[in-house]
Amino acid sequence: MNRTKYILLLVLFNFSFVMISSAMVEKRAIYNSYLLSDMSTWKKIIDDMHAEKGKSNQRELELLNYEYGYVGWCIGNKRKKEAKIYISRSLERIKRLDTAKQHLPLVDAYTSAFYGFRIGLEPLRAPKFGPRSLEFAKKSVAKDNQNAMGYIQLGNIDYFMPPAFGGSKEKAIKNYLQAERLMDPISEYDWNYLALLVQIATVYSETGNLEKADFYYRKTLSISPNFIWVRDQLYPAFKKKHNKL
Region 34-39: mean pLDDT is 97
Q: Name the pLDDT band for 23 (thresholds 50, 70, 90).
A: confident
**pTM reported for the whole predicted model:** 0.90
Side chain identity at residue 79, one-letter code: R
Residue 199 pLDDT > 50: yes
- Per-residue model confidence (pLDDT) at position 4: 55
Query: Per residue in 200-227, pLDDT tens?
Result: 999 999 999 999 999 999 999 999 999 9
Band the pLDDT of 186: cuts 50, 70, 90: confident
Whether residue 243 has pLDDT greater than 90: no
Alpha carbon distance 169, 164 (integer Å): 13
What percentage of the chain reaches a pLDDT higher than 90?
A: 85
For residue 100, pLDDT over 70 is answered with yes
Q: Which CATH architecture has domain 26-242?
A: Alpha Horseshoe (1.25)
